[in-house]
Amino acid sequence: MKTTLVIVDVQNDFCEGGSLAVQGGAGVAAAIGPHAASGSYDHVVATRDYHVDPGDHFSDHPDYARTWPAHCVVGTEGAAFHPALDTSRVEEVFSKGRHSAAYSGFEGHGADGTGLADWLRSRDVEAVDVVGIATDHCVRATALDAAREGFTVRVLLGLTAAVARPTTDAALAELRTAGVELVGTPVVAPA
């Protein structure tokens, strides 16, 4: 069975020092590279938030549920992959959210406009392992969409960083219900 590692949104703005930082993000960034290079995967891809003008996704008074501070704006350092993330094995980057909110990597498109599901199917991929930031938001959405698209899905929680315990617990329950295999424990900021 062909398996792809999907690295979700390991960008500067989502790591310590970024505009929407998740505690433990830099450590996760550093740990993903060696895992990607382990030889366990037929393919490795990455997703990224890549906002131009996402409308009401950005807010000066965010609710941190549907609205957020400005982050991952195209052309800024915050949109770049974290320097600790080794991207040498990444074959394609799927950018999402140019003009609207986008949480799932399956909402993104590669350089030629191909969506993630079609890219995976064209390479006969049947299974995906999902890692990255944040466990309770974009990792969750990407894994759920992968399952809906018919892929066998695992989330490698030790290679994810989460925003908060309550939203992470809810996300993990939702993933289990969707048939996603959960491996390990996510990095979660203390309450």
Q: pLDDT for 110-125, tens place per residue?
A: 999 999 999 999 999 9
**Phi first, then psi: what are they for 85, rounded to 5°?**
-85, 115
Lowest mean pLDDT among 50-54, 107-111, 148-152: 50-54
Residue 87 pairs in a beta bridge with none
Percent of the chain with pLDDT over 90: 87
- pLDDT attached to residue 75: 96
Q: Write out the catalytic residue numbers.
A: 9, 96, 138
- pLDDT attached to residue 191: 63
Name the band, by pLDDT with cuts 50, 70 and 90, for residue 135: very high
Using alpha carbons, select from 107, 109, 102, 90 the residue that is nearest to residue 46: 90
pTM of the predicted model as reported, rounded to 2 decimal places: 0.96
How far is Cα 9 from Cα 139, in angstroms, rounded to an integer?
A: 8
